Chains A and B, each alone.
Chain A
Amino acid sequence: AQSVTQPDIHITVSEGASLELRCNYSYGATPYLFWYVQSPGQGLQLLLKYFSGDTLVQGIKGFEAEFKRSQSSFNLRKPSVHWSDAAEYFCAVAQAGGTSYGKLTFGQGTILTVHP
């Protein structure tokens, strides 16, 4: 069964500092990979996605992520964090080429706190 691990439950950074959130997945083939963000009391918003091709993908709000097949990782990065980035971040995986478009397996999430 596919699974997603986000090793860091909670990360604290200072505003303006760089950020890297880790994500490792376990899957038999190359999956589709996603990062979502959830602000308190809100639903999830897609930050970026990887299907194939260039392993470095750009997303919204200045985020990027790099797919590393050899490490089964899809880490999220941002060069300079803003206070408004404080939220919970979820990595997710879906079956590539599957017929189920709405079934994602999510990691447990990483809560990001930003200090002024």
Chain B
Amino acid sequence: KAGVTQTPRYLIKTRGQQVTLSCSPISGHRSVSWYQQTPGQGLQFLFEYFSETQRNKGNFPGRFSGRQFSNSRSEMNVSTLELGDSALYLCASSLKGGSGELFFGEGSRLTVL
């Protein structure tokens, strides 16, 4: 069974640009969550989607957005990039009714110059 797939794995952007990251969950998983990981702030919850609906949102500015498609694949977008957005962005999927057992992808490493 394939795991959670995130693309791209690495990318470099400049300030002011925007970026879109993609996540394909494990087959059959309908919930997708996104996390930002930085050395200073650690792992922080961005948002969660289930059946194309955002169920929960973390404390991030409106520049961070996401969506989920009918096949459960998800994308997150960051507009007007700032230097502080440099981070590892992790996607995780889980079953509905799941237990909080999240299956994580390897992440997308974003560097903002």
Q: How far is the CB of A65 from chain B (nearest CB, A)?
A: 15
Task: List 30 A–B pairs whose Cβ atoms lie within 8 Å, in order of A's numbering.
Answer: A32-B99, A32-B100, A36-B104, A43-B90, A43-B92, A43-B106, A44-B90, A44-B104, A46-B101, A51-B99, A100-B56, A101-B48, A101-B50, A101-B95, A101-B97, A101-B98, A102-B32, A102-B33, A102-B48, A102-B56, A102-B94, A102-B100, A103-B45, A103-B56, A103-B58, A104-B43, A104-B100, A104-B102, A107-B42, A109-B43
Contact of B99 among A36, A43, A49, A106 (CB under 8 A): A49
Contact of A43 among B45, B55, B94, B107 (CB under 8 A): B107
Q: How far is the CB of B92 from chain A (nearest CB, A)?
A: 6
The answer on a CB contact under 8 Å between A100 and B101 is no
CB-defined interface of B5-49 with A at 8 Å, one 1/0 digit per residue? 000000000000000000000000001110000000011110010
Q: How many residues of B contact A (CB 8 A)?
A: 29
Q: How far is the CB of A26 from chain B (nearest CB, A)?
A: 16
